[in-house]
Every structure is written in structure tokens, then in C-alpha cells.
Structure 1
């Protein structure tokens, strides 16, 4: 009976061990499966992004003529991180593309920001033509952009998107057209906006005054119409405001005098009228003030003599009344002044 009991006990133990082994093997299989899935969705993603970005840039390089391709002789293979003008992050996704002052001609690369992490894109001082790539519109990771001094065209109201991290953008000296969009307000990190010497039209959106802080606003040499929005007086961190050579009208809003950090103010070559507001003396750090070629009347405010740092004052080609020489005692410290 003891033997039979042992036998029966033995038979009871064996199935339990089998069940235990089965459970262990199942858990191990599940763990391995999860690891395999994790690896498949992490490691190859950076590799495939690198290959996709390389493919797009190589396709663009091959579209250039032989002379331009020779300027990019290092752009070979499937590892763009080793190419001249390209920088990558630790996952080997492209974060910087620098094509500045290379003498390149043709169109900009159409497939950029495929990795979704492009931070800096500079292609200034070249001979690029055509429009801004469509892929640029959704590249929300951008921080710095320079496309100035090319021959680019297109409607900036439609070709550009919203860039929450954008700090600096220069589109000057091109052939862009369209109007200044109020969407710039959504670029809350923007410090410098330069769109001078293009064919921009329409008015200046008052909403631009909601962009704080900002340091440089240059919309000069365009076809901007309307008035100078008083809301710009909220840009208290601004040190360069250039709206010269446009078609602005009406008077200078007294709120501009709130720009206590302003160093350069250019409103020249517009259709501005009325008197020069005495509140401009609130721009106590002004170095350069150009109000020439407008329709300003009345006398020059005596308060202008309080601008102790002013070095250049241009009031030429206006309709100012009175003897400007009466203020010569205040102007002696200014290096240059035209009247």
C-alpha cells in the first residue's frame, strides 16, 4: 500500500511539474515577443529615417547641374550625418542643413524635415529660385531659418506654417509676395522677423503687438499699406524697427514712444503725415532715427533734444515748419543729421 501510495503520489507530482514548466515557457515567450516588438519599433526607426532623409537629399543633388553637384562632393552614400553642411542628433536624424554662401543655383531641396526634427535650415546668399518646399510648412521643429538673398518666390501667406520654436527667420532680398499673416503671433518664441526687400503687400496686422518678446522687426522695402499699428508699442524688447520704403500712411502713433529699448527706428520713404510725436523721446536708447521722405508738418518737438544717445537723425524731405536751427544746441551731440 505504501508503494502504491508513493506511486500515486508520484503521478500527482509529475503533472504539476509539467504545468509549471508550461507556465514558465509561456511567460518567457511573451517576454521575448515584447522585446522583439520593442526593438523593431525603436532601433530600425532611426535607421530608416536616416535612409529616407539621405534618399531625398541625394535626389535633390542629382537634379542639379554638374557644376553645382561638384560643390557637394561629400554628399555620397546613405549616411548624411557625415556630409558637409549636415548635422544630426544622437539618433542620426538630421537637425541642421547649412547651404549658405555656397554659390548653389536651382531649386531648394523639396524633401526636407522628413525626420521631423530639423532645427536649423540656412541657404542664404545663393542663387536659389522657385518657392519654399511644401515639406517646410509642417516642419514645426524649426528654430532658425535663413533664406535671404536668393531669387525665391511664392506666397508667404500660404507657403509658411506655424513654428512654435522658431527664434529667427530672414526672408529678405527675394521675390516673395502675399500679405503678412496674423499667424506669426503663434510663433511665440520668435525674436527676429526679417522680410525686407520683397513684394509683400497688405497691412501690418495689429496682432503682431502680441508677440512678446521680440527684438527685430524689418518689413522695409515692400508695398505695405495702411497705418503703423499702435499695438507695436507693446513690443517693449524691440531694438530694431524698420518699416521704411513702404506705402504707410497716417501719423506715427504715440505708443511707439513706449519702446524704451529701441535703438534703430526707420520710417523713411512712406506717406506718413501729421506732427512728429513728442513721445518719441521715450525711446531713450535711440541711436538712429530716420523719418525722411514723408509729409511731416509742424515744428520739431523740443523733447527730441533729450535723446542723449542719438547719433544719426534724418528729417530730410518733409514739410516741417519753423527754424530747425533753433534746436542746434540739442543737436550738437548728434554725429549726423539731415533736415
Structure 2
């Protein structure tokens, strides 16, 4: 009922905002991005004395408000479209009265007032971020989610040393990961989701003292850095990207802080690291829509506080144990669209009153909507040994290890080339032919640098060469006699190692036999399943939180999108725990903001349930 209420609120808000929102065309996006590139100073930052280069006729209570005025006016000029007229009253020296701008006493001098935050959430503004925003050095909050900002994050943002929360989600920012955020020392909340950022995730990101990290619905293409465990974050959401590789084993070091993990809809592979069982404080664990493999076993048994568990749409096999289905706080367990061929009775849908199970499209005997026997046998008969496997379920390392074992077999076809050389030649080099046989193709290689390079590359040319000068065979015999000392050194068999090097393509066919060792251990016999074919993805997980990537028209999409809102309609108060930090400008205090702690854990469950209901 609660989720249904969230859906209705989101639907009405979507309809409301869509009435005035308009999507940017590609031409408009390019125009805005070009405007930013032209306006940005060299290096994307402003000079240290920039404020003194700007002449103003207005007088301000203090120099900090003067700097804020310069930055806010630059932002207003960078606006391409403002259908809600949010910045219409951004006129005059009273910057604290500007819509979306909040002031508070300075931390280092309570006697003066400074701009402490900017909140333009859902303003539907199209434009870019000017470098002059780096002048607002007292700003602790910068929230512009659900707009149509384009371009990049300016380097001048590194000057915002007091910035605590940075939310630019649901816009149209582009480029690689904005490294400038790594230079903001007090940053705790980073939200970049629903943009077009791409490239690799920097390892330095997980060395920062962040509390929440939202990177979902971008175009990141890399592995998760191995130092993931160094991060003290409580919420990690990287869904709907192009990330690959395994989950780093260092995730076990996050036992005291990690509360939500959402890795869904990426390209992650391999087995689940055993360190996951150490995450006793995790309440949401979602690894759905990847290609994780192996036997689940008791890896997830340690998630004692987990409420939402989704491992669907992977290649997991084995038995679903009762220890997981009976976790004390479990409310929803989705393990559909895998290859499980057995499960405990307590894991059957409907067996527990307070837990929702989804077991569709597996290999479970007697259960409806399962995979066919043929489809199951292809995977179940080749179980992955997670003790030996690495990324990719162990298939990667096994292939290169086998070709060198079969290299001695590859020289066997080479004797076919040896009889061709002695047959046309009468036996003057009788003593040399047996010497040439062990080296096989190397005698022509010794003669090749002078006269017979074509013989090595196209073997078909050797017969015509041998047929044309049959009488000149003594001449062919004499060169080898003169080169006997040259042939003897290569007899030490190193040349034998070279032919195998030329024959990796012959060693590749055995690579296809890499799965053979796995098939030798068929732990699970081919299930005799005579059930109807699997139905389409009609029964999706109840708690599916990996939405479709947002459309280009971000404003209509954003209202129901996951970005947490700080100063927005009531339904977002349960999503964003920081709403209590944004108060009317006469009540907001920067000191209160910095002394308050992030209460992500109190609202994560509702956030998880309402995230992507716009699907």
C-alpha cells in the first residue's frame, strides 16, 4: 500500500512537471556546451584575484556576499531556458532573497552572513555551470538535480572547501568522471546519477570520506577499484552502467558502515566473494541483471539485517539453502532467472508469511515457469568451482593454461612437411636429412635468409623450385655443407620452441576444450523437467530498482527518478534524509548543517521501494 501511494504521488508529479518541461534537442545541447567552453577560463578555473577584476556599483555588507553576487549573476547569464522563472528575481545585491539561495552565519565569523547553499532541484533550468561559482566558498550545499544542465563540472569547484553535499543528478552532464570532486575535502554526499558521464572510476574516489555515493545510470566502463573497501560509505549505488569484472574482496572491510549495495544491470562476472558474508549491517543487497556464476552456498548467510535481497538474472547454480530464506529481517528475496536446481522448503513462495519469494525461470523440479531441461543442462552440468575460479567464473585463466600443455602435440603435423623436402631430392644430403627432420622446418629457415624466404611462407612454391633444377641438386647440397656449422648451433632445440610459437592458432582449438574439466564434475545430474517453457519477464522482482536509463527529456523523467530531493514536494522527504538541512533562509544555519549527521539508514528502505516506479 505504501509503495502504491508512492506511485500515485510520483505519477501526479510527473504529470505536473511534464506540462511545462521540454526536452533539449541535440543542437541545443551542443550550443550550450559550446557556450560553456567559450566562457570557461584556461584550465576551467578562475584566477585567485578574479573578484577584484569585476567592477560593481553595488555595495554589500561583506566581501563574501559580493563574491556570491558575482557567482550567482554568472549562473543567471549561463541559463539558456528557465520556464519556471526561478531566476527571475535574481536581481540586486540582496542575494539571500534569491529563489533557491540560502544564507547563514559564517562558520568562522558568526557576525556576518554568507551564502550557505543553493537548491534548484526540479527547476527545469537549461544551461551550464560557470567557473564563477567557485567564488561561493562558504557554500555547503549545491543541489541542482532534475534540470537540464549540460557540459562539464568546472575545475573551479575545487575552491568550495566547505561543500558538504554535491547533487547534480538527472541532468545532461558529459565527459569522464569529474575529478574535481575528489579535491573537495569535506564532501560527504555525492550524487552523479542519470547523466552521461563515462570512462573509468578513479580509485581515489574510494579513499574519500564519503557517506553516500550514487553513480547509477551513467556510462561508466571499468571495474570497481580494488580499494573499494577503503571507503566508509553507507550507500553504494552503481546500477545501470557498463561496469565489469568481479566484486573486490575488500568489500568485506566495509562491515561497519555499508548499508545499501546496488550493483544491478551491469556486466559484472565471476563468483561472489566470500567476504560478502561479513556485511552484517547491509539492509539492501541487489546484484541482479549481471553474469555472476558459481554456487551460492552460504555466501549470503551473514547478511543478518538484509531486508531486500535480489540476485535475479544471473548464472548462479546449486541449492538455495534455508539459512538464507530464514534470515531474520528478510522481506523480499528474488532469485529468479538463474540456474538453481534445488531449494529448501522454506524458500518456496508462500511458505513464509512475511517474506516474498520469486523463483521463476530456474531449474527447479515441480515448480512452474522454469527453464527447459536442455537449457538447464547446458549450465548445471558444468558447475563453476569458485575456489579456483577468478573473474569470469574461472573460464578466463583456464584457457591460457592449457595450450602450453598441448604444444608438444602440435609439432606432429610438421613431419608432413619433412618428407616433401627429401622426396624430390636424391640422397646426396643423406646425412643431413635425419638432422633436418628433428629441426623440421628450420633447415629451410637457415637457407631462407639467402634464397628461400618464399619457401617458408608459401610452401606450395617448393615443388616448382625443386622440379626446375633437379640437376642442380649438388649445388643445393653444397650450401648446406658450407652451413653445417650454422645448422649445428640451432640443433640445441631452441628452434623447436619457435615453431610452437608460430602455432598458437593450433593451440587455440584446445581452448574450446577448457570447459571439459568442468563437465567432468557433474555435481548436478541433468534435471528431468517436463514443464511448460519459461514465460517472458512478466513477473519481475517486486523490489526491482534498476530503472531504464532516463530519456533525453530529463525534467519529466526526473520527478519520479531516484535522485533524492532536498527542497521539493512532500514525497521526497522520505527519500532524502537531508531535507532537514534545508530550512527557510532565516532559520538555516551552516553550523547546524555541519554538525548534523546523515541519516541515510533511516530512509533507505522506502527509498529502495520507490526509486524507479516510473517504469
> Which band: TM-score by shorter chain?
0.7 to 0.9
Partner Cα distance (2:134, 2:317) in 1 = 52
2:352 matches 1:332: yes
Q: Are the equivalent residues in 2 in contact too, given 1:270–1:294 (CA < 8 A)? A: yes
Partner of 1:152: 173
Q: 1:158 to 1:67 in 2, by over 3 A?
A: closer
**Cα drift, residue 329 of structure 1:** 9.1
Q: Are the equivalent residues in 1 in contact too, given 2:285–2:308 (CA < 8 A)? A: yes
Partner of 1:168: 189
2:74 matches 1:74: no
Partner Cα distance (2:60, 2:91) in 1 = 21
Partner of 2:252: 233
SS of alignment partner, residue 113 of structure 2? coil
Partner of 2:333: 313
Partner Cα distance (1:336, 1:179) in 2 = 37
SS of alignment partner, residue 304 of structure 2? coil
Q: 1:256 aligns with which of 276, 279, 283?
A: 276
Partner Cα distance (2:127, 2:188) in 1 = 27
Q: Are the equivalent residues in 2 in contact too, given 1:197–1:222 (CA < 8 A)? A: yes
Report 1 or 2 for greater relative contact order, CA contacts < 8 Å, sequence distance ≥ 6. 2
**Cα drift, residue 334 of structure 1:** 4.6
Q: Are the equivalent residues in 1 in contact too, given 2:261–2:286 (CA < 8 A)? A: yes
Q: Are the equivalent residues in 1 in contact too, given 2:350–2:356 (CA < 8 A)? A: no
2:151 matches 1:130: yes
Q: Are the equivalent residues in 2 in contact too, given 1:261–1:284 (CA < 8 A)? A: yes
Q: 2:237 aligns with which of 201, 215, 218?
A: 218
Q: 1:211 to 1:66 in 2, by over 3 A?
A: closer
Partner of 2:443: none
Partner of 2:204: 183
Structure 1, 276-285 or 121-130: larger mean CA deviation: 276-285
Q: Are the equivalent residues in 2 in contact too, given 1:163–1:187 (CA < 8 A)? A: no
Q: 1:262 to 1:333 in 2, by over 3 A?
A: farther
Partner Cα distance (2:237, 2:81) in 1 = 37
Partner Cα distance (2:269, 2:281) in 1 = 25
Partner of 1:53: 68
Partner of 1:278: 298
The runs of 5 or more residues in structure 2 that have no matched partner are: 1-58, 106-111, 360-615
**Cα drift, residue 241 of structure 1:** 0.3
Map residues 6-155 of structure 1 onto 2, 5 A cutoff. 47-65=62-80, 67-68=82-83, 70-90=85-105, 91-155=112-176
Aligned residues: 294
Partner of 2:367: none
Q: 2:286 aligns with which of 266, 273, 277?
A: 266
Structure with the higher strand share, 1 or 2: 1
Partner Cα distance (2:282, 2:212) in 1 = 14
**Cα drift, residue 266 of structure 1:** 0.4
Partner Cα distance (2:153, 2:296) in 1 = 40
Q: 1:169 to 1:304 in 2, by over 3 A?
A: same
Partner Cα distance (2:220, 2:83) in 1 = 31
Q: Deviations over 1:181-221 (max 9, x none)?
A: 12123422x11101101001111112121123x21000111
Q: 1:322 to 1:109 in 2, by over 3 A?
A: same
SS of alignment partner, residue 150 of structure 2? strand
SS of alignment partner, residue 152 of structure 1? strand
Partner Cα distance (2:347, 2:216) in 1 = 34
Partner Cα distance (1:106, 1:316) in 2 = 43
Structure 1, 108-117 or 144-153: larger mean CA deviation: 108-117
2:318 matches 1:298: yes
Q: Are the equivalent residues in 2 in contact too, given 1:152–1:175 (CA < 8 A)? A: yes
Q: 1:79 to 1:69 in 2, by over 3 A?
A: farther
**Cα drift, residue 68 of structure 1:** 4.7
SS of alignment partner, residue 169 of structure 1? strand
**Cα drift, residue 158 of structure 1:** 3.3
The runs of 5 or more residues in structure 1 that have no matched partner are: 1-43
**Cα drift, residue 331 of structure 1:** 4.7
Q: 1:46 to 1:286 in 2, by over 3 A?
A: same
Q: Are the equivalent residues in 2 in contact too, given 1:57–1:109 (CA < 8 A)? A: no
After superposition, the CA RMSD in angstroms is: 2.4
Partner of 1:32: none
Q: Deviations over 1:268-327 (max 9, x none)?
A: 011110011403121111111110111101111232133122111111111112256574
Q: Are the equivalent residues in 2 in contact too, given 1:311–1:333 (CA < 8 A)? A: no
